[in-house]
């Protein structure tokens, strides 16, 4: 019993640390966006993250790798699909952050993917959706309108906000693709594979669209932003996520992960990338409530014994 309780405590700590690291990453992404173009930033940070995961993969997946338990013919195409969707999601997010220059706004709009995921499951695969999801969706739209309210300017939903919202759809697609393709493969090795694909696509895009603006001096000026987003957000946070989810309820884990949106706003205010008004604070609360409600079974009737 003591061992189980210890595992649960460690699990909860890992989940909260993951949400904290991911939330603060939005601040470093916003700071990095001031120094580097989006594909350059993502290509570099995912390269760092992919490299930093190599020792983790070799340690945790050594039996699968060295005892040849991996079906690479199936895993490689799956990694290519998920990595491509991850590339689209992360690119839209980083470009949106560059446009809005707001870590908190990016964090909360991105977090809407937790509500969008089951809705897309319904639209694409016909999977039934609970009433809490629809309540969460309505609350998410309501909260987004308050979050985009700019005082005398009224409701401002610009290019950056739109890109972040489209990115949230791609984060939802990423969740769906991982759910459908990652089940039959070692989790850490599969994750490393999709990160490698995302890295390759980001670097190709960097050379195609941003080659003229590339500068090693600019990359060095963003070294701390890149190191945090690469090592902490990808390498360490993903490892903590895997450890944390082993001994936790999926719904509880999803709710804890949604705290990254709160941490992104708090971090943005502290770092000076965000100014929290009464309207935006209310919008944050409503969006966070939409995320939590969408993960609960409030109206679910338990079968009687």
Q: Would you kindly state where each structural domain of the chain is located, as residue ranges?
A: 11-295
Contact 157, 99 (CB under 8 A): no
More confident residue, 299 or 171: 171
The predicted structure's pLDDT at residue 301 = 58
Contact 119, 263 (CB under 8 A): no
pLDDT > 70 in the chain, percent: 94
pLDDT of residue 2 exceeding 70, the answer is: no
Contact 248, 12 (CB under 8 A): yes
Closest C-alpha to 225, from 94, 92, 115, 73: 94
Q: Which of 199-203, 233-237, 264-268 has the highest mean pLDDT?
A: 199-203
pLDDT of residue 297 exceeding 90, the answer is: no
Task: Label residue 27 by pLDDT band (50, 70, 90).
Answer: very high
Specify the pTM.
Answer: 0.88
The predicted structure's pLDDT at residue 300 = 62
More confident residue, 279 or 305: 279
Alpha carbon of 271 to those of 75, 144, 161, 207, 230: distances in Å?
Answer: 40, 22, 20, 31, 19
Euclidean distance between the first and the last CA atom of the chain, given in angstroms as a whole number = 27
Give the three-state DSSP class for 149.
Answer: strand
Q: Which of 19-28, 176-185, 245-254, 258-267 has the highest mean pLDDT?
A: 19-28
Six-digit token string for 179: 């759910």
Closest C-alpha to 32, from 23, 42, 47: 42
Alpha carbon of 217 to those of 29, 202, 253: distances in Å?
Answer: 18, 19, 40
- 208-257: per-residue pLDDT in tens? 999 888 888 999 999 999 999 999 998 888 888 877 877 777 667 778 88
pLDDT of residue 36 exceeding 90, the answer is: yes
What's the mean pLDDT in 123-149?
86
Contact 60, 235 (CB under 8 A): no
More confident residue, 297 or 116: 116
155: which strand partners? Answer: 149
**Eight-class DSSP state of 228:** I
């Amino acid at each position: 019993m003591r061992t189980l309780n210890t595992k649960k405590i460690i699990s909860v700590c890992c989940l909260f640390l993951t949400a904290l690291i991911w939330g603060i990453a939005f601040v470093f992404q916003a700071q990095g966006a001031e120094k580097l173009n989006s594909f350059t930033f993502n290509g570099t940070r995912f390269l760092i993250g992919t490299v930093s995961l190599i020792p983790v993969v070799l340690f945790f997946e050594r039996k699968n790798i060295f005892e040849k338990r991996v079906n690479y013919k199936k895993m490689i195409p799956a990694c290519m699909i998920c990595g491509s969707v991850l590339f689209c999601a992360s690119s839209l997010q980083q470009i949106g952050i560059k446009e809005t220059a707001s870590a908190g706004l990016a964090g909360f709009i991105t977090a809407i993917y937790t509500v969008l995921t089951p809705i897309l499951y319904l639209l694409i695969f016909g999977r039934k959706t609970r009433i809490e999801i629809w309540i969460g969706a309505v609350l998410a739209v309501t909260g987004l309108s308050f979050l985009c309210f700019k005082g005398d300017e009224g409701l401002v939903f610009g290019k950056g906000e739109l890109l972040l919202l489209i990115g949230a759809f791609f984060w939802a697609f990423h969740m769906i693709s991982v759910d459908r393709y990652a089940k039959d493969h070692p989790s850490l090795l599969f994750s490393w594979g999709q990160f490698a694909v995302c890295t390759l696509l980001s670097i190709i895009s960097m050379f195609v669209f941003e080659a003229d603006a590339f500068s090693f001096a600019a990359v060095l000026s963003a070294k701390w932003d890149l190191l945090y987003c690469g090592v902490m957000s990808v390498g360490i946070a993903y490892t903590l996520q895997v450890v944390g989810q082993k001994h936790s309820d999926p719904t509880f884990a999803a709710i804890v992960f949604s705290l990254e949106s709160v941490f992104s706003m708090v971090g943005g205010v502290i770092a000076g990338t965000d100014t929290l008004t009464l309207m935006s604070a209310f919008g944050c609360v409503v969006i966070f409530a939409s995320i939590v409600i969408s993960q609960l079974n409030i109206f679910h009737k338990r079968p009687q014994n």
